[in-house]
Structure 1
Amino acid sequence: MSNSSIGTPEQLRDPNYTPPLAKAIPLGIQHVLAMFVSNITPAIIIAGAAGFGFGSDAGAQGFPDMSYMIQMSMLFAGVATLLQTITLGPIGAGLPIVQGTSFAFIPIMIPLVAGKGPEALGVLFTGVMLGGLFHAFLGLFIGKIRFALPPLVTGLVVMMIGLALVKVGIEYAAGGVPAKMFDKPEYGSALSWSVAGVVIIVTLGLKFYTRGMLAVSAVLIGIVVGYFYAMMMGMVSFADISGSWARAAVIEFPSPFKYGFEFSSAALIGFCLMAFVSAVETVGDVSGITKGGAGREATDKEIQGATFADGLGTSIAGVFGALPNTSFSQNVGLIAMTGIMSRHVVTIGAIFLIIAGLIPKVGAVIRTIPIEVLGGGVIVMFGMVVAAGVSMLSDVKWDRRNMVIFAIAISIGLGFQLEAMNLAPGAPNALQHLPDSLRILAASGILPAALIAIVLNLILPEHLAAEATEEVSGGMAGHIDE
């Protein structure tokens, strides 16, 4: 599909241009394919952490909650995307911004729900709703707080998010969460790893040796191929598939406050603090879209509108049992690659997401995917999150000041995270004397790392002695005279 057959160069750079419908529909579907797996993965991870089960291990008890969360992930990603593309007064950027479920909040959400079942979801979704309102409030002065979040801070946070998640990818690829695998000696078997390996190999092959739709949807196709491989290996029960399909309704509308309303200070603080990171990520994505698609800088109105939509979309999602939304960077790259800036193309993709979110049978089929298959996909995705953080850190001038800030922040943040995740339930830990709310926040690792980096970056002087600020190419070579 050549761009000349879609419109003139001026039209393609115009967000308000609508390509011919025969071209716009496949372009909209392409956006959905690019984000689909990333969008539903957080819901599956949080449902699994809460103890709903997965695949053939879940049983009927956990089925409605996991399927509902998958369904809401699709539905409210579509709704939040419509807020960005169609706009509602000052809400929305009027740009081709694709919204989807955010990975950034997962390390904050897991401690809130771990092993607690549906009873913990009231706290979780209340936090999502209130945090979303705070996120929208940030739109009033988003331009004024960007100074506190330079690449040193944002890159560190994004990298920490990825590092917190890579363990999940390995556990899934090996066959599940180890704490639940005591009665499964096949955990970590060659068969489990072979399934994840198929997904990874197919994904990499398509990503680097194909173009167009195949490359864009590489992770999705990799998971489909892995699913069929797992089916051939006897890891997918046709009884599970037919049972999941039969239990799911033909169409189902979301239920407000399905899991109740339960306030938690830890949830509120965690979601509000992560809203800063998500807001800055959205600002970066808006700038990337306008530069890549139209060759210009984003306006203040576009940035403010995008932040309003980001927060409001998240708050609405929380009311109906969906997780926080944010702009999706992979779709920013897709716009730069295709050169098609039309917001109406993305609107079509949003409509497809909403339709899929209203059909529970879609979520029922997704739930039958063996966890090893998902593991292969998330290893790739979470590794890319780490790589994105490293890429952002490449813009930092690595003098001794910045190296010390980074070193202290990552040592404490990652140290808290690793110490908390490697202990058996009930075992003493380094944070055990903190109040429950603070312990949950500190154990995430991300928030203490971000807070330390922000504070040190603001209070440490920029102009130190020359030998303390010269760039360091490796290690901490050299010393400061006493």
Structure 2
Amino acid sequence: MANTQHSVAPVDEMMPAAKLFVFGLQHVLAMYAGAVAVPLIIAGAAGLTKAQTAFLINADLFTCGIATLLQTLGIWKIGIKIPVIQGVTFAAVTPMIIMAKTGGMETIYGSIIIAGICTFLLAPFFSKLIRFFPPIVTGSVITVIGISLLPVGIAWAAGGTGDPHYGSMTYIGVASIVLIAILLINKFFRGFVAHISVLLGLIIGLIIAMPVGLVNFSGVSSAAWLGIDYPFAFGMPKFDLGSIIAMIIVMLVVMVESTGDFLAIGVMVDKPIGEKELTAGLRADGLATALGGILNAFPYTAFAQNVGLVGLTGVKSRFVVATSGAILVVMGFFPKLATIIASLPNAVLGGAGIAMFGIVAANGIKTLSKVDYEKRPNNIFIVAISIGLGVIPVVDANFFKLFPDWSQTILHSGITLGSIAAVILNALFNGSKGGEEAQKELADNAGMNA
């Protein structure tokens, strides 16, 4: 009633500090496992030490917090000012793994900085061109993302590539317990507990793994309690054309995903999202991504699981999620916590990874289920060829080995191949849809996924 009398929209409601903290912490817990998964993946691909992995996790959490504050509070014409928490996009994982193995962390950060700047500059134009990215494109791409990531989770479950005991029953057994725990939590619990099922599964897996000797806490005692992120900790960025192109394509997909999340949250919190608001939100994605490249982090987007949390709790205030951003910034200052997280065995991560990455693919399939295959029979070819091309690098890593060196980063990324194929084939068979129709489809799709 007070909000009505003072004409304060629910999205702008300011709560007591205690409530802000509790609700904000809930959002952090819902996204924490996903937030630390990407730096763990990239650290493994780049062969980083435990100390470097801990630093990477801290840098990611710190930048996640800044990105979330930027999106929820806004500055100038940047930030959509709705309760949307920012996290590392899984869409960038596959190309970053390739870059880590071929060019190192410096190449990753060079591509992220340029892609972030391009995203910022393209935001006002992209908000007009969203009609070229209907659910058939986003669904195909998200499905390829999940399929491309699953081998990572499977390798973890077996102990991690290169482990002398790869495929050990102990490794697979621990991974299975984590996976079963996640399933049972989702079966018997609802709401908040279900939203942190992955985090709870990791904790259960850690407890199980300790007595069988899979956990190594070396380095935790020597890790500093307090640490500060600083620019270019892994060296000055390198700007490789193929890597930059691949990351820009990833950010185009991220812009589509973020748009769907923005529209869905706008409906939930009763705030209309027009071209102006969408542009501000996408600019924040771009700025946060460029900042991530400077601060040893990654590309950022809206976290879908937190979209669902907004709908579940009915808490619409953007200041709740801004509090989440502040909590993430504070967490980024504690290396000891990050070192403990970095001590999680691969087998434990594998059980959670299979669940997380499988859900990514399932969400893509869910999106594709909305596509009309009766009136537009050619849609089946768009999906089939896009996914078919996207899984080539997963099925055979040597398929493109005789192609020019400059093209390797692009051709070895399933997300890149799948994206290009989906956009071109959809334009060929379906043309472009009206902006309002495509935006409505994206909003409905995001609402389903939430």
Indicate whether the TM-score tops 0.5.
yes
The Cα shift of 1:405 comes to 1.8
Whole-angstrom CA distance in 2 between matches of 1:371 and 1:9: 54
Contact 2:392 2:399 (8 Å CA) reproduced: no
Shift of 1:206: 1.7
Aligned-partner residue type, residue 454 of structure 1? V
Paired residue type of 1:98: I
> Equivalent residues in 2 for 1:53-72 (5 A)?
62-72=49-59
| Count of paired positions | 429
Instruction: Return the match for 1:18 from 1, 14, 19.
Output: 14
- Give the corresponding residue for 1:229: 208
Give the Å deviation of 1:434: 1.9
* Cα RMSD after superposing both structures: 2.1
Show CA shifts across 1:329-381 (max 9, x none): 00000001111110111111111111111111111111111111111111111
| Aligned partners of 1:12 and 1:341 also within 8 Å | no
The separation in 2 between residues aligned to 1:390 and 1:297, in whole angstroms, is 28
Partner in structure 1 of residue 90 of structure 2: 103
**2:351 aligns to what SS in structure 1?**
helix
Alpha-carbon contact 1:12-1:339 (below 8 Å) kept: no
1:449 maps to which of 418, 440, 447:
418
Match of 1:31 in 2: 27
Residue 122 (structure 1) aligns with: 106
Q: CA deviation at 1:461?
A: 5.5
Question: Which residue in the other structure is 2:43 paired with?
Answer: 47
- Distance (whole Å) between structure 1 residues aligned to residue 293 and residue 178 of structure 2: 32
Matched, 1:349 2:324: yes
The Cα of 1:12 is off from its aligned counterpart by 9.7
* Cα distance between partner residues in 2 of 1:63 and 1:302: 41
1:13/1:339 contact within 8 Å kept:
no
Structure 2 CA distance for partners of 1:247 and 1:216, relative to 1, 3 Å: same
Residue deviations 1:205-246 (CA, integer Å, cap 9, x gap): 222311333122111011101100111222224xxx2x3223
1:412 to 389, 395, 418: 389
Per-residue CA deviations over 1:247-278 (Å, capped at 9, x if unaligned) read 32222221212221211011110111111100
1:172 maps onto 2:156 in alignment: yes
Aligned letter for 1:372?
A: A
1:107-126 per-residue CA deviation (whole Å, 9 max, x = no partner) reads 11111112x6xx71111111
CA distance in 2, matches of 1:432, 1:24: 53
Are 1:253 and 2:222 counterparts? no
Q: Secondary structure at the match of 2:301?
A: strand
- Residue 409 (structure 1) shift: 2.1
Superposed, 1:363-374 pairs within 5 Å as: 363-374=338-349
Instruction: Tell me how far apart the structure 2 counterparts of residues 382 and 299 of structure 1 sit (CA, whole Å).
Output: 32
CA deviations on 1:157-183 (whole Å, 9 max, x unpaired) are: 000000000111111011101xx13xx
**Alignment map for 1:212-361 (pairs within 5 Å):** 212-237=191-216, 241=217, 243-258=218-233, 259-294=235-270, 297-361=272-336
Q: Which moved more, 1:154-163 or 1:62-71?
A: 62-71
Partner SS state of residue 455, structure 1? helix
SS at match of 1:326: strand
Structure 1 residue 13, shift from structure 2 partner: 6.0
**Aligned with 1:100: secondary structure?**
strand
Residue 13 to residue 200, structure 1, CA distance change in 2 (3 Å): farther
**Bigger relative CO (Cα 8 Å, ≥ 6 apart):** 2
Provide the rounded CA distance (Å) in 2 between the counterparts of 1:96 and 1:70: 24
Q: What is the match of residue 193 of structure 1?
A: 172
Q: CA deviation at 1:324?
A: 1.1
Q: Indicate if the aligned counterparts of 1:124 and 1:267 stay in contact, CA closer than 8 A.
A: yes
2:146 is paired with a residue whose SS is helix
- Deviation, 1:459, is 2.3
Q: Write the distance in 1 (CA, Å) between the matches of 2:5 and 2:381.
A: 47
- Cα distance in 2 for partners of 1:11, 1:407 equals 50
Alpha-carbon distance in structure 2 between the residues aligned to 1:88 and 1:376: 40
Question: CA contact under 8 A between 2:73 and 2:81: conserved in structure 1?
Answer: yes
CA distance in 1, matches of 2:29, 2:6: 27
Cα distance 1:333–1:8, how it changes in 2: closer, same or farther (>3 A)? farther
Q: What aligned pairs does 1:421-436 form with structure 2 within 5 A after superposition?
A: 429-436=398-405
Q: Distance in 2 between matches of 1:253 and 1:81?
A: 19
Mark the CA change 1:436 to 1:10 in structure 2 (over 3 Å): closer, same or farther: farther
Report what 2:77 is aligned to: 90
How many angstroms apart in 1 are the aligned matches of 2:202 and 2:238?
36
Which stretch shifts more, 452-461 or 273-282? 452-461
